[in-house]
Amino acid sequence: MGKATSSVFSRYSNFELLVKLLFLLSTRSKFFIRIIEKALTPKFLDRRWVSKLIQNTVYRIFLVGETIPEVRDYTNARNAPNKKFMVDYCVEGAQTESDIRANFDTYSDLINQQWSDNVAVVIKPSSLSFDEELLSGEVSTQHMDLMDKLCALAASKGILLFIDAEQSWYQGTIHKIEMEMIRKYNRQSAIIFATYQMYLKDTLNILKRDLEESKKEGFHLGVKMVRGAYLESENDRALQNGYESPVCESKEHTDTSFNEGAQLALDDSISVCFATHNQYSCSLVSDHLLKSASQDYKVSFAHLHGMAEDLYSTLSQEDFVIYTYVPFGPIRQSIPYLLRRIQENSGVQNQGKQETRLILKELKQRLF
């Protein structure tokens, strides 16, 4: 992989670059991280000036807007060869039946949009069911039918549908749901994708099992491979409830799990999307593909909007299929997503320093 250049930020205004720069600098300090996290609580968001400040800074960095038309403007402005988008409506943890129906309608509207073939849709299972269902292991027939209708609609439209992963205490139920959908709709090709969180100790074995079952039963396993985004809540809950954390003991163990999973997926030539901001993992996969006798177009990469843009600018130069994860939604419903992004940025200091250098370089070229 070659070196990225600051041109990756050419679409940003000077103000947007300054906001992004200030955010990256603030994530080096736990004090400023706590201030941002506190500002995202309902008590402070009720203050109009705080809400406005968040919407024009942190929200603007990580989300593309509140509505589907704003998502369309974003994707149209960034359309390019091998460039694709995973559109995510940032809602989770439904509280009422009306919440579930509203979320279902939004997902349906997303799938029914007249997208080109460069857009996929992300579904958050907790937005279509209640906590107690996911915890019990049994989702109601009514809520299961909603998931089935969305998968059927996506299959009829030829739109890939990525079922998002959530906290480990929900994930057992979620994985049952997504595997049922995969068995039903992935008979000819991978339309429905399950998300595998490789920072969980048992995920590598689950992936191995699912690969074997796909061979035996004749369905196409669709995989989105991530490290995981719930580290703090996973460890906190384990500590509070007195059980061993399900998360790998160290970042090195997580890296090993991800890279071994990546090799398994590549060896089996399945449809897989590597959603990672880790440069070594991206290099591992890209080197494998470049050395292959033929390009495997069932393999893609993905990064979050507002993150790892320099790394993915480099990957795009190699003509790999690149997804940008495109979240949207009202600011209050997006708080859990924003908090995870803040925590994630605080844990990737080396990448943050690289991005800071590139932004400073871009600003210097523009202003001096």
The residue to which tokens 């559109």 are assigned: 87
Q: 181 pLDDT exceeds 90?
A: yes
Instruction: Return the CATH number of the domain spanning residue range 65-336.
Output: 3.20.20.220
Mean pLDDT computed over 270-284: 95
Integer Cα distance of 176 and 330 in angstroms: 30
Claim: this prediction has a pTM higher than 0.85: yes
* Residue 360: closest CA among 14, 62, 30, 63: 14
Mean pLDDT computed over 185-193: 97
Integer Cα distance of 229 and 44 in angstroms: 25
Tell me if 196 sits within 8 A of 224, measured CB to CB.
yes
Where in the chain are the domains?
Answer: 65-336
What is the percent of the chain where pLDDT is above 90? 64
pLDDT for the residue numbered 130: 94
pLDDT in tens, 149-158: 999 999 999 9
Where does the pLDDT of residue 359 fall: very low under 50, low under 70, confident under 90, or very high at 90 and above?
Answer: confident
Give, in order, the Cα–Cα distances in Å from 282 to each of 39, 111, 168, 262, 297.
34, 29, 25, 10, 16
- DSSP line for 319-339: T--EEEEEEE--TTTTHHHHH
pLDDT for the residue numbered 276: 95
State the burial class of residue 237 (Cβ atoms within 10 Å of its Cβ: 0-12, 13-18, 19+).
Answer: middle
Where does the pLDDT of residue 349 fall: very low under 50, low under 70, confident under 90, or very high at 90 and above?
Answer: low
Where does the pLDDT of residue 117 fall: very low under 50, low under 70, confident under 90, or very high at 90 and above?
Answer: confident
Q: Which helix (H) or strand (E) holds 194?
A: strand 192-197
Q: 345 pLDDT exceeds 50?
A: yes
